[in-house]
Structure formats: C-alpha cells, structure tokens
Amino acid sequence: MQTRNQRTLARSIECSGVGIFTNADVKIRFCPAPENHGIQFIRTDLVDSKPIPALIQNAVFKQRRTAIEYQGASVEMIEHVMAALAGLRIDNCRIEINAPEAPCFDGSSQELSIELLEAGIVEQPFKRDLICIGQPVSVEDDTGSFIQAKPLNRSVLAIGYYLNYGEDSPIPPQCLTLEINPETWMKQLAFSRTFVLEDEVETMRSLGYGLRLSAGDLLVLGEQGVVDNELRTLDECVRHKILDCLGDFALIGCDLYGYFCANQSGHALNRELIKKIKSTHQIISSEAAWKIA
Ligand SMILES: [Zn+2]
C-alpha cells in the first residue's frame, strides 16, 4: 500500500476577502503546524477561543455549505479552503480567521491554492494515516441523489460526479471522473467556481446573503446562460461539485483511497457518507501503513 509523509506549509500566508453568507471582511492566515496536528481553525475575533479541529465529528448542518463547531466556536463555508489543502496534500495547518466564515474569493480555490504553493510545502517525518475503501458504502436521500464509495485496486482517490438538473435547467448535464493529486487539483479543479441559478439570487439576497457580491464575483446561471461572466470550462459546474466533494471528504482527517461516485450529491450527503465510512472502516495508522508498505 502506498504511503506518504505528512506535509505542512514552509511559512505562513495571509489572505483576505468577503464572506458570502455573513458579508464580513475576512482575514485568514494559514500557518505551519506540527505532525499529527491536522487542520484546525481558530477564531481570532473571539476571546479565548479554542481551536476547532476540521473533523467530521465537529460538522454542523448549514444550508448549502460546510460548517464546523467546537466548544462554542464555529466557522462555516470551509469547504473550498479544505479542498485546497486536501488537493495540495497539506495535512497540518493552523488557520487563524477573524470572522465566522471563510472568504469567498472568486468562488473557487484557485487564488488560495496559488498562495499556498508560493508559501512552499514541506514534508514531515511522520507518515499520513489512511482509510482504504474495502467494501462499498453508499448513502442517498429522498430526492434520488446518492453518493457511493467503492474499492479500487490502486492507492488513489478518484471522484466521479454526474450532474443533471433536468431539461429546463440552464445548466446542461455534465459528468466527469478525476484522480485527485496535487497536479490534477491545480490543472483540473482549483479554478472551478461555485454557482447559483439566477432565480435563486433574489431569495439569497432576501436572506441577507451575498450582499457584497455581484454576478462577476461568482457564477450566476440564467436562461440566457452565464450572467456578466464567462465559464472557465464548459463543464465548470461539475468540476466545482467534485471540488466540494474533496473539501467535504477532507473532514475524515486522513488520506482516503477508493472510487467515489456521486449523483447530484451535496454537502449534507457528502458528510453522511464520510460518517458512514468512519463507522465501517478502520483507519490504518501511519505506523501500520508504514509496515504494510
Ligand atoms: Zn462549493
């Protein structure tokens, strides 16, 4: 079985942006962290706030985004940050954030991924824990959406996604399967932006969301196509869904090998699958994986 060393940043970096749900100005700082630290957020705007480990047991339900909460502190919209760290295989990172929500950036993970790469990534002496999918696991909801994890005969993570919102949707059906590694992350996924239907924008605004964003800041899709913007690839939407899967899967806190096949799955189903995998599969500790290798 293929194992690898844990990795962290070579130096700290700071980024800023606007929160899509809270409309807040956000500063977020990514700092190196020791072996077996994992990804932890710390709310610097709260007094005596404890770090919030980015793990599935700390996930809390929020509509259309991923949020974690621990000992009274929470942070939401973390999936694009988590995807960037997972895509680049940055396993240990302390993230200081001065708001309850990660910044939206341009709706993708591209800018952050470039900054993280520029900071440099260094290997650490410890091996990374992993879960290797040994038997099929699947979850579904009452709309017919589902996501499955299946065994693979190679030590890789592959994610396939089928998106079909129906004949009347401005988003055409799209399907893509990718093997995830730092190279495919940067070339095939990091640039893909979050998207919203034009019909949904007014509802979101009435709820107070996205008040500081315009159609140029993320993908808005209407009957006439993309509003005030251009697609980066024809299948940008399905690429972003795979990006979201990767960010949500990262809450498992270790490497994941297997083939994941999603049909219209969203954050809630992604999290449910990860919980089920954790309850049905054993984590192979770094020490054991080292011996198997
Ligand atoms: Zn997303």
Q: What is the pLDDT of residues 90-118, one digit of tens each?
A: 999 999 999 999 999 999 999 999 999 99
214: nearest Cα among 233, 197, 201, 230: 201
Give yes or no for a contact between 262 and 162, defined as CB atoms under 8 angstroms apart: yes
CA of 132: how far to CAs of 116, 126, 156, 282, in Å?
Answer: 27, 19, 9, 8
Top mean-pLDDT range of 61-65, 160-164, 218-222: 160-164
Q: From the CA of 80, how far away is ligand 1's center (Å)? A: 6
Residue ranges of domains in the chain: 5-128
User: Other CB atoms closer than 10 Å to residue 47's CB: what's the count?
Assistant: 5
Q: What is the pLDDT of residues 263-289, one digit of tens each?
A: 999 999 999 999 999 999 999 986 654
The C-alpha atoms of residue 242 and residue 192 are separated, in whole angstroms, by 9
CATH 3.30.230.20 describes domain 5-128: yes
pLDDT of res. 64: 83
**Active site positions, annotated:** 267
Phi, psi values for residue 244, rounded to 5°: -60, -40
101: nearest Cα among 5, 178, 212: 212
Torsion of CA 37, 42, 44, 45, to 10 degrees: -170
Q: From the CA of 111, how far away is ligand 1's center (Å)? A: 14
Query: Which residues are CB-contacts of 200 (< 8 A; sequence separation ≥ 6)?
Result: none
Q: What is the pLDDT of residues 185-209, one digit of tens each?
A: 999 999 999 999 988 888 888 988 8
Q: From the CA of 72, how far away is ligand 1's center (Å)? A: 25
